[in-house]
Each structure stands twice: as structure tokens, then as C-alpha cells.
């Protein structure tokens, strides 16, 4: 079989970084994205791009017949926890329903390998930290449940159709392409680091700090921030794992180190050279005090070693992207 990859959601935040990495590795690929949250200009001109949905069975059949993929890397999910609570049907239809359509197409065309972007949200409120792969899964919102439902149905597709899979549970994806060309462009933006950077840069008036009374050393939530480029390296290693004929598996992806919100704000202030204007707010429902991964299994079985584990590197790369985006906006006619 020809070695060619379908990257679903390849115009989004993590997907676009993955496309850049795969092209640098000389991989042949096609990007499929409906551009509901992705950006066409995030896909390099030398990568084949198709605008469309993973829930479009007829489109998938045409793509699989034409290209003969041997693997799919699946990033196309709605990701906002709050929105999932308000609109659960939308999240289940997109995240679970579209994935089932994709898996059925893979089964029809005998595509043997899937790398799936899962989430630490499948664990819910942690019973212990750091969180390893044996931690019970008890998601507390529709977003997390949608990811966990997919993880639960994948073994059935392997049993029936031979589709081997690797599920990668992200903790807090952060940072940007070290060259600054790619980064976070969510609408609306909900992630901590870009919001703090924009407040320090004066692009927004205030950064909202949700709670400073958690049971942590400085009272703010602690999270495990993992660089987007390191996440993509884990996907590449997972792809190689499956192509080598190894068994399906699941891995938690984080650096194994937690940083509080105030740690992040301090790093932002050091990188930008300006204070982050704050506005205090009450806690958000469902925010655990501490979420930190145990990445030992990914390190041992995939050989994954994060290159950009330092918080300052993550923030500095995100800042470079924010600066470049502002320059593009000001240069536009």
C-alpha cells in the first residue's frame, strides 16, 4: 500500500503544526478541513488541501479511492468545554458522529492505522496526580465524554475491521511553531497563554483570573503545559508505531511538571517585558486544582522526549507568533 496520510482537521491549531512536521519529514499527505475553526493560510502551499467535513461519507469515499491512504491522523474536534455544556448535541454530532463516519470509510477502504487526538478531559476530576494511563476515566462535561466515547468504540472497529489506533491524551496544549508562522488562532480564544500575552501587549484590556483560592501553593490552578511541536512529535512517533505493525495503545502527553496560573503570568511578563493587567473573577465550575500528566509510558514505548518542556520556551514561541500576527494585521491594506 502507498504510504500517504489523511490529516483531518489539518488547518487547525495542532493540525497545521502536524502538517508542517510531516512535510518536513517528506511524508505525502492530504489535508481535510471544513474551516469552521481552521485557517486555509495555515496549510502550506505544497500540501494538498480539500475543504470538507469528516462527516461527509461521499467525500471520504472519493478521497480514499483516489489516494489510497495507509493512515489517518484525526484532529477535527470541537474543543470548548463551556460550549459543550450549552450545546451537547452539537458536540456529540461533530466529535462522535463525524468520527464514526470517518471510521466507517476507513473500514470500507481498508485503511489500517488511525492516530486520534484525545484529551485529558476524559479523566474528569483527578483522583491522584500525576495522572497515568490507568487513572479511571470519568469525564465531567460533554467535550470530555465525546473523547472518551470515541476511545471506547475504537477497539470494536479494530476487532471488526483491523483498524489499529493510538489515542493521545493531551493535557494543556500550548506554544507555537518556533519560527512563529503558526500558532493559536481560536475564535473566541479561551486558552491562558495567548490571552495573557494579548493583555500584556495591550491588545486586550484585562486578563481574567478565575479564582485564587485553590488548594495550591499560590492559590491558582496548576496545569501541565505541553508544547504543540512536542505534541506533533508524539503523533509522528505514534504513526511510526502503527506503521511498524505494533499494537493499538493509549498515551498521556504532558511534561510531568505543573505550573500555576501565576507562574504563567510571571513568564509572560518576563518575555514581553510588561505587566499583565488582571481582573479577578470567581472560580469556573469544573476546574480541578491540579492536572499533571505522567508521561512515562509515552517516553518508554514511543521514545517521546519533549524538546520544549521549559515554560519560558512555550511562552516565548507563543509571543513570537502573536507579534507576527499583529504585524500582518498592521501591514494589511
CB 59 within 8 A of CB 33: no
H-helix or E-strand spanning residue 215 = none
40 φ, ψ (degrees, to nearest 5): -60, -35
H-helix or E-strand spanning residue 167 = strand 164-170
Return the closest-CA partner of residue 44 out of 68, 72, 15, 65: 15
CB 211 within 8 A of CB 284: yes
Beta bridge partners of 208: 279
Three-state secondary-structure class, residue 222: strand
Dihedral angle, C-alpha 148, 127, 192, 21, nearest 10 °? -50
Helices (H), the chain: 13-24, 57-67, 81-86, 88-91, 98-108, 142-161, 192-201, 228-243, 261-272, 296-297, 311-331
Return the closest-CA partner of residue 132 out of 301, 256, 267: 256
Q: What DSSP character marks residue 248?
A: P
CB 240 within 8 A of CB 309: no
Return the closest-CA partner of residue 126 out of 252, 296, 289, 297: 289
273 φ, ψ (degrees, to nearest 5): 80, 20
Which cell goes with 40? 486555509
**Catalytic residue chosen out of the listed positions 91, 92, 128, 143:** 143
Beta bridge partners of 222: 260, 290
Active-site residue 143, yes or no?
yes
The span from the CA of 7 to the CA of 116, in Å, is 10
**Would you please indicate which residues are annotated as catalytic (active-site) residues?**
143
Amino acid at each position: 500500500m502507498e504510504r500517504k496520510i489523511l490529516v483531518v482537521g489539518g488547518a487547525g491549531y495542532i493540525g497545521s503544526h502536524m502538517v508542517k512536521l510531516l512535510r518536513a519529514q517528506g511524508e505525502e499527505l492530504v489535508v481535510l478541513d471544513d474551516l469552521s475553526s481552521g485557517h486555509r493560510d495555515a496549510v502550506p502551499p505544497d500540501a494538498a488541501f480539500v475543504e470538507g467535513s469528516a462527516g461527509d461519507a461521499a467525500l471520504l469515499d472519493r478521497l480514499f479511492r483516489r489516494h489510497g491512504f495507509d493512515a489517518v491522523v484525526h484532529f477535527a474536534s470541537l474543543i470548548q468545554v463551556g460550549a459543550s455544556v450549552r450545546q451537547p448535541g452539537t458536540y456529540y454530532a461533530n466529535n462522535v458522529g463525524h468520527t464514526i463516519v470517518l471510521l466507517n470509510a476507513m473500514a470500507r477502504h481498508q485503511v489500517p492505522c488511525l492516530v486520534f487526538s484525545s484529551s485529558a478531559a476524559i479523566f474528569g476530576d483527578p483522583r491522584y496526580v500525576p495522572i497515568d494511563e490507568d487513572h479511571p476515566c470519568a469525564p465531567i462535561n460533554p467535550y470530555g465524554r465525546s473523547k472518551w466515547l470515541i476511545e471506547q468504540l475504537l477497539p470494536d472497529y479494530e476487532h471488526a475491521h483491523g483498524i489499529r489506533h493510538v489515542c493521545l491524551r493531551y493535557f494543556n496544549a500550548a506554544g507555537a511553531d518556533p519560527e512563529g508562522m503558526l500558532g493559536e488562532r481560536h475564535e473566541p480564544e479561551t486558552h491562558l497563554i495567548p490571552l495573557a500575552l494579548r493583555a500584556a501587549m495591550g491588545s486586550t484590556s484585562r486578563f481574567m483570573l478565575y479564582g485564587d483560592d485553590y488548594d495550591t501553593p499560590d492559590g491558582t490552578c496548576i496545569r501541565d503545559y505541553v508544547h504543540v511541536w512536542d505534541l506533533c512529535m508524539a503523533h509522528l512517533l505514534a504513526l511510526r508505531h502503527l506503521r511498524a505493525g505494533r499494537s493499538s495503545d493509549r498515551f498521556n502527553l504532558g511534561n510531568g511538571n505543573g505550573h500555576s496560573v501565576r507562574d504563567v503570568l510571571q513568564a509572560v511578563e518576563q518575555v514581553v517585558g510588561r505587566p499583565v493587567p488582571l481582573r479577578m473573577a470567581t472560580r469556573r465550575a469544573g476546574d480541578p486544582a491540579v492536572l499533571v500528566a505522567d508521561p512515562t509510558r509515552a517516553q518508554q514505548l514511543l521514545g517521546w522526549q519533549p524538546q520544549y518542556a521549559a515554560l519560558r520556551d512555550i511562552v516565548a514561541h507563543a509571543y513570537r507568533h502573536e507579534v507576527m500576527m499583529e504585524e500582518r494585521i498592521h501591514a494589511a491594506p
